[in-house]
Structure 1
Amino acid sequence: MDRVLAIFMVVTCMASSAMGATTIYNVMSYGAVGNGRSDDSQVSGNIVAPVKNAWNGNQRNAWIVFASIRGLVVKGKGVFDGQGPSWWPNKPCYNDPAHGVFCKGPTAIIFRRCDGLRLDGFSKINGPGSHILIMATNDVVVSNLRVIAPGDSPNTDGIDISSSKNVRIRNSFIGTGDDCIAISAGSSNIDISGITCGPGHGISIGALGKGGNDIVENVRVRNSTLTRTLTGVRIKTWQGGKGYVRKISFEGIKFVAVDNPIQIDQFYCPLKVNCQNYTSTVAISDVSFRAISGTSTAESVINLMCSQSVGCTNIKLDRVYISSSTPGKKVHASCFNAHGTATHSKPAIKCLLR
């Protein structure tokens, strides 16, 4: 179905006048209904979300949603401002019986079932929660975006990809308080290049295995720079999951003072609640790290921590050179049940099993 489902909740459009002053327009005064059904809103300029206390629509988990549009193009030099500071100190909280209470603001912009999606040139700043979510969509090109929030803003992922295929993300700057890019279950054929990431939590696959049978495959991350991020490139899975992650490539990555540059974590449990050891797991195989260099603030710069019951297989590291951001400080690699090979890399990865 070719139609726009756009939800504007007291959205304002900001434009600069010739005198340099900023004028604020409320699109509700220009015919926007904002009922989640009417295709009535076309806005150019800078779009500003309501602050938390003015959030009064029926859509509680997102600010703007586009759904079931073929060939949607969102392009320009405008800014989507999610007014995140009004949400971050007192986020809505939810109880997860398996993993405890977590708190997260609504996603700023969701693109759902928008095959042929093209996003280019605009900025997305200060999301209440995640900035951009692409889900259940095939054939996506994202280019030249700026996604920005303070490094201490909670759960403000830059771009999340879920249940989507054939996604290309190019030449974008992402600096937030969580993952710059996160790839979730059901996603395949993802190509990421030319990303400048930081602050944030790096570029992540997962977390997978929290429920159901999670699959991610054919992901390529290349020619990107991560600066002062909490992690660099990583794969993370919950204990007790099912499914697989395979055919993953990280290549041409540069790290600048990154805390945990290379990481496979199959014991992911961020809230440290009910962190049990299970025999079932998301199987990880065919993962390569090539032509990677840079510095780390940590001593353990490569961490390949795989499931106790099902080890990671065919892990390859080649020309990986990571040193300490503190001159003269030694660094090392750590592994658990990880199988593969390492060539021309420093520090030596002697813990990798064949």
Structure 2
Amino acid sequence: MELTRGLLIIWIAVTLLSQNSSNVEGRNHFHKKQKNKRPPPKVPSPQAPVSPSPAEPPPVPSDPNNPPYPPPAPSVPSDPGSNCIFDVTAYGAVGDGSTDDTEAFREAWKAACQVESAVVLAPADYTFMITSTIFSGPCKPGLVFQVDGVLMPPNGPDCWPKSDSNKQWLVFYRLDEMTFTGSGTIEGNGEQWWELPCKPHRGPNGSTLPGPCDSPALIRFFLSNNLVVRQLKIQNSPQFHMKFDGCEGVLIEKLSISSPKLSPNTDGIHIENTKYVGIYDSVIGNGDDCISIGPGCSNVDIEGVTCGPSHGISIGSLGVHNSQACVSNITVRNAMIRDSDNGLRIKTWQGGTGSVTGISFENIEMENVRNCVIIDQYYCLTKACRNQTSAVYVTDVSYRNIKGTYDVRSPPIHFACSDTVACTNITMSEVELLPHEGELVDDPFCWNAYGTQETLTIPPIDCLQDGEAQSTAESSAYGC
């Protein structure tokens, strides 16, 4: 597994070399008899602002022409008078937390875009407020957007300009060889967005609270290649903290992402239609998925990430509205997930097509996690979803050295696969999950799931079937 990360780092060094760049105390288990019944069915791209970018984003290419070589983060010149540094205060930014500094950032970006290895600098000891903005390319290679102060959007929907997109705030569009970094904070001012009376979400003590309407994603990279995002503190996003759409070659490391446990739809890092991604050594706590991997993603390496509170690391949801979804070659290793509603999750809708294949979860520590290991092919947001014959084919999924404690309100292992398209080639090795408090209520659940136990699983997963599913040959038609 170290080879994957090593290759990514070699990639990085070669491309821009010239640019300076558990043991857990045992508890008693009590098992209920496994019920052989089918689980009940459980019932995309943000739009760009009208100006200066197109009203609708162009379609995401399925196979970008540029090779997937992410660059290193170019180092910022030490001389503050360097011609490569474009300080936004020199372009009129006030940085008092209330003045609109948008135009100053746009002008600094426009100037820096024309200079190789330039730095757009938001200096420390200032708080800059800017409105929804697209920073467009192409630009000269090696561009750095460095935030050392505080950067934030208007405070809530009432202060959001009516002419601005409410789908997104900062957008980086059609860029290559760019770095987003700094010692500062991206503050999302999301609290008032979370309380909009549109979509109910869970509140404290079993209550139901209102949720978001068209709340903006905080940071979005769109149709860009060879990106580095590192070191920033990103918090309190109205919706997703960071999204990558249609990108290729992305290195993310040493981020701190945080929002309250009950903040709705505040995924930490979301990727879709994006290839060759490394996410390393970051801490993410939020109200939704820690990391979510959408359709069209492949060759994603995640290591050294701590999640919690969150909804865990999720592949999906996939196949909504009978769509095709293809996800492959995803590795998650040496991670910690704590105080989360889910741990390692694959979720698909009934009626979809495509496949999820080549998924590896290794050396994962759990602490008080509900649904530690889950494949849910009956994902639905209402109770009105019908069972359908078609499904996203899930195969070649391995769980190795997954240890820790789980919330006993749900079984720690849950494989609910499609009636007609079985999950196949699931590998379990050194999976040991014990109750965080109390005693085990239910055994692991399986439906139409086939695989191999290389070692005894704790709790035992007797419901995982040996051999090949009868529908395997038919299921291969769902490949991508």
Alignment correspondent of 1:76:
182
Q: 1:142 aligns with which of 252, 259, 267?
A: 252
Which consecutive unaligned segments of at least 5 residues does structure 2 have? 1-47, 52-86, 90-94, 108-131, 200-210, 467-480
Q: 2:104 aligns with which of 16, 30, 36?
A: 30
Task: State the alpha-carbon separation in 2 of the partners of residues 68 and 183 from structure 1.
Answer: 21
Q: 2:461 aligns with which of 346, 349, 352?
A: 349
Any conservation in 1 of the 2:134–2:170 contact (CA below 8 Å)? no
Q: 2:151 aligns with which of 39, 47, 51?
A: 47
| 4+ aligned runs moved over 3 Å, structure 1 | 28-44, 101-104, 327-331
Please report how far the alpha carbon of residue 60 of structure 1 lies from its aligned counterpart in structure 2 after TM superposition: 2.3
Task: State the alpha-carbon separation in 1 of the partners of residues 268 and 135 from structure 2.
Answer: 27
Give the direction of change, closer, same or farther, for the CA distance of 1:234–1:35 in structure 2 (3 Å limit): closer
- Amino acid of the structure 2 residue aligned with 1:233: L
Task: State the alpha-carbon separation in 2 of the partners of residues 61 and 91 from structure 1.
Answer: 17
Any conservation in 2 of the 1:108–1:128 contact (CA below 8 Å)? yes
Alignment correspondent of 1:152:
262
Task: State the alpha-carbon separation in 1 of the partners of residues 377 and 465 from structure 2.
Answer: 17
Alignment correspondent of 2:115:
none
Any conservation in 1 of the 2:422–2:450 contact (CA below 8 Å)? yes
Q: Secondary structure at the match of 2:177?
A: coil
Q: 2:191 aligns with which of 82, 85, 94?
A: 85
Q: 1:236 aligns with which of 347, 362, 366?
A: 347
Please report how far the alpha carbon of residue 332 of structure 1 lies from its aligned counterpart in structure 2 after TM superposition: 2.3
Any conservation in 2 of the 1:71–1:116 contact (CA below 8 Å)? yes
Higher Cα Rg: structure 1 or 2? 2
Any conservation in 1 of the 2:279–2:303 contact (CA below 8 Å)? yes
Q: Secondary structure at the match of 1:86?
A: helix
Which consecutive unaligned segments of at least 5 residues does structure 1 have? 1-5, 16-21, 94-100
Q: 1:111 aligns with which of 221, 234, 239?
A: 221
- Amino acid of the structure 2 residue aligned with 1:82: G
Task: State the alpha-carbon separation in 1 of the partners of residues 194 and 212 from structure 2.
Answer: 13
Please report how far the alpha carbon of residue 48 of structure 1 lies from its aligned counterpart in structure 2 after TM superposition: 1.0
Give the direction of change, closer, same or farther, for the CA distance of 1:104–1:91 in structure 2 (3 Å limit): farther
Q: Does 35-44 or 259-268 show the bigger shift?
A: 35-44
Instruction: Summarize deviations over 1:253-290 as a string: whole Å, max 9, x none.
Output: 01000011000000001233x21000000000000000
Q: TM-score, normalised by structure 1?
A: 0.87
Give the direction of change, closer, same or farther, for the CA distance of 1:35–1:78 in structure 2 (3 Å limit): closer
- Amino acid of the structure 2 residue aligned with 1:280: S
Task: State the alpha-carbon separation in 2 of the partners of residues 169 and 125 from structure 1.
Answer: 18
Instruction: Summarize deviations over 1:118-165 as a string: whole Å, max 9, x none.
Output: 000001101111110011111110000011000000000000010000
**Is 1:161 paired with 2:265?**
no
Any conservation in 1 of the 2:194–2:263 contact (CA below 8 Å)? yes
Give the direction of change, closer, same or farther, for the CA distance of 1:302–1:42 in structure 2 (3 Å limit): closer
Give the direction of change, closer, same or farther, for the CA distance of 1:334–1:215 in structure 2 (3 Å limit): same
Paired residues, number: 331
Please report how far the alpha carbon of residue 23 of structure 1 lies from its aligned counterpart in structure 2 after TM superposition: 4.0
- The within-5 A match list for 1:179-190 is 179-190=289-300
Q: Secondary structure at the match of 1:280?
A: coil
Give the direction of change, closer, same or farther, for the CA distance of 1:37–1:333 in structure 2 (3 Å limit): closer
- Amino acid of the structure 1 residue aligned with 2:259: A
Q: Secondary structure at the match of 1:231?
A: coil
Q: Secondary structure at the match of 1:222?
A: strand
Any conservation in 1 of the 2:88–2:104 contact (CA below 8 Å)? no
Q: Secondary structure at the match of 1:73?
A: strand
Q: Secondary structure at the match of 2:158?
A: helix
Alignment correspondent of 2:239:
129
- The within-5 A match list for 1:1-354 is 23-24=96-97, 26-28=100-102, 30=104, 32=106, 36=134, 44=147, 45-51=149-155, 52-56=157-161, 57-90=163-196, 103-211=213-321, 212-272=323-383, 274-298=384-408, 299-329=410-440, 332-342=443-453, 343-354=455-466
Q: Secondary structure at the match of 2:195?
A: helix
Give the direction of change, closer, same or farther, for the CA distance of 1:36–1:172 in structure 2 (3 Å limit): closer
Task: State the alpha-carbon separation in 2 of the partners of residues 38 and 245 from structure 1.
Answer: 33
Instruction: Summarize deviations over 1:7-38 as a string: whole Å, max 9, x none.
Output: 8x9xxx999xxxxxx94353236364776477
Task: State the alpha-carbon separation in 1 of the partners of residues 272 and 345 from structure 2.
Answer: 17
Please report how far the alpha carbon of residue 327 of structure 1 lies from its aligned counterpart in structure 2 after TM superposition: 4.7
CA RMSD of the aligned region, Å? 2.6
- Amino acid of the structure 2 residue aligned with 1:50: P
Task: State the alpha-carbon separation in 2 of the partners of residues 150 and 230 from structure 1.
Answer: 14
Q: Does 117-126 or 329-338 show the bigger shift?
A: 329-338
Please report how far the alpha carbon of residue 76 of structure 1 lies from its aligned counterpart in structure 2 after TM superposition: 1.2
Q: Secondary structure at the match of 2:430?
A: strand
- Amino acid of the structure 2 residue aligned with 1:55: W
Instruction: Summarize deviations over 1:208-263 as a string: whole Å, max 9, x none.
Output: 00142110000000110011100000100000001000000000001000011000
Give the direction of change, closer, same or farther, for the CA distance of 1:283–1:38 in structure 2 (3 Å limit): closer
Any conservation in 2 of the 1:158–1:176 contact (CA below 8 Å)? yes
The one of the two structures with greater contact order (alpha-carbon pairs below 8 A, sep at least 6) is 2
Give the direction of change, closer, same or farther, for the CA distance of 1:202–1:37 in structure 2 (3 Å limit): closer
Alignment correspondent of 1:96:
none
Any conservation in 2 of the 1:324–1:331 contact (CA below 8 Å)? no
